[in-house]
Amino acid sequence: MAQHSEKKRTRREVLAFLIELPLALMGLNVIEDGKAFLHVDEVLPSYVTAIPACWRLYFDGGIAEVEHVLPSYLDRLSTLAQQPARHQKVAASCASQAYQLSWLLALQHQDFGKALSDIKKAFYYGDIADDNHLRLSSLVRQAHICFHLKQPIQQLQLHQKALHFRSDVSPLLQSWLYIVLAESQANPVISQQEAAKQSLSVARDLFPEHPEDDPHFAYVPIDHFFFVNHAVSNCSTVGRLLP
């Protein structure tokens, strides 16, 4: 038990170091004679590493550390993502993932207005990155706000919109979309029970054996427990199909 606790502490320390690295590099990036000490291409890889570390640290209990660095991330990445250059799509991808994390933090504080603003920005930057994974995940998360606000029709519409972006998306994210689509369809206001059962069946067929191996798992950490628990908890009719 003590060894497990030590490993967890060490992992958190490593993650905390990684998420502070972009800020440290930006602090070093002073401008002398009109030129930056470090080029964007030298700084941006630190964000590519730090964003997944932020997600992991958040779920490891390091919410305060993430809240500390995220505003700076959003400011810098938003600026880079709007500059036409060879790094634009990478910066936009990082910005979208960062805004999706900001959405999650806003939900923690039940600030639905900020959550909505953040997730719309996440979709915007996912569009710049031209990445259907980011477009789809942003729409699914926007629909989740409708779930909290008890707006089942709008929730379903957003899930249906997300279906348009499932092309070339990994099985994990497709499965995630279909399980929440089943939730929308099974809502008593919508009452599309047969469609919900079909959606859940598709979700089960698509769900990978090892979801943690998916390259997008860092910002969409959907595991087997989530799959079963979400279906049973939120789709009472659909949930009866589960073993």
Q: How many domains does the chain have?
A: 2
Separation CA 157–CA 137 (nearest Å): 14
Within this chain, do residues 167 and 217 fall inside the same structural domain, yes or no?
yes
pLDDT in tens, 109-133: 999 999 999 999 999 999 999 999 9
- pLDDT above 90 as % of the chain: 71
| Residue range 65-80: mean pLDDT, rounded | 95
> How would you label 178-205 residue by residue, b for 16+ Cβ within 10 Å and e otherwise?
bbbbbbbbbbeebebeebbbbbbebbbe
pTM: 0.88
Separation CA 183–CA 190 (nearest Å): 10
For residues 105, 106, 108 and 113, what is the CA-based torsion angle, rounded to 10 degrees? -170
What does the pLDDT read at residue 17?
Answer: 87
Residues 6+ apart with CB under 8 A from 72: 22, 23, 26
What does the pLDDT read at residue 242?
Answer: 39
Longest dimension (CA), the chain: 68
Residue 5 pLDDT exceeds 70: no
For residue 240, the domain's CATH number is 1.25.40
Which residue range(s) make up the domain with 49? 1-130
Which residue has better confidence, 96 or 30?
Answer: 96
Within this chain, do residues 12 and 118 fall inside the same structural domain, yes or no?
yes
What mean pLDDT value characterizes the chain? 88
Within this chain, do residues 114 and 44 fall inside the same structural domain, yes or no?
yes
Q: Which of 109, 130, 151 is the last residue of a domain?
A: 130
Within this chain, do residues 123 and 182 fall inside the same structural domain, yes or no?
no
Within this chain, do residues 216 and 240 fall inside the same structural domain, yes or no?
yes
161 pLDDT tier (thresholds 50, 70, 90): very high
What does the pLDDT read at residue 8?
Answer: 62
Residue 97 pLDDT exceeds 90: yes
What does the pLDDT read at residue 231?
Answer: 59
Within this chain, do residues 143 and 108 fall inside the same structural domain, yes or no?
no
pLDDT in tens, 208-229: 999 999 999 999 999 888 887 7
Within this chain, do residues 42 and 91 fall inside the same structural domain, yes or no?
yes
What does the pLDDT read at residue 138?
Answer: 98
Q: Which of 81, 106, 130 is the last residue of a domain?
A: 130
What does the pLDDT read at residue 218?
Answer: 94
Extract the tokens encoding 17: 């170091």
Within this chain, do residues 165 and 94 fall inside the same structural domain, yes or no?
no
| Residue range 64-73: mean pLDDT, rounded | 95
Separation CA 98–CA 118 (nearest Å): 9
pLDDT in tens, 7-61: 666 888 889 889 988 888 876 655 444 455 567 777 899 999 999 999 999 999 9
Within this chain, do residues 147 and 99 fall inside the same structural domain, yes or no?
no
Within this chain, do residues 140 and 240 fall inside the same structural domain, yes or no?
yes
Separation CA 25–CA 62 (nearest Å): 21
Within this chain, do residues 126 and 241 fall inside the same structural domain, yes or no?
no
Within this chain, do residues 203 and 126 fall inside the same structural domain, yes or no?
no
Q: Which of 130, 155, 188 is the last residue of a domain?
A: 130
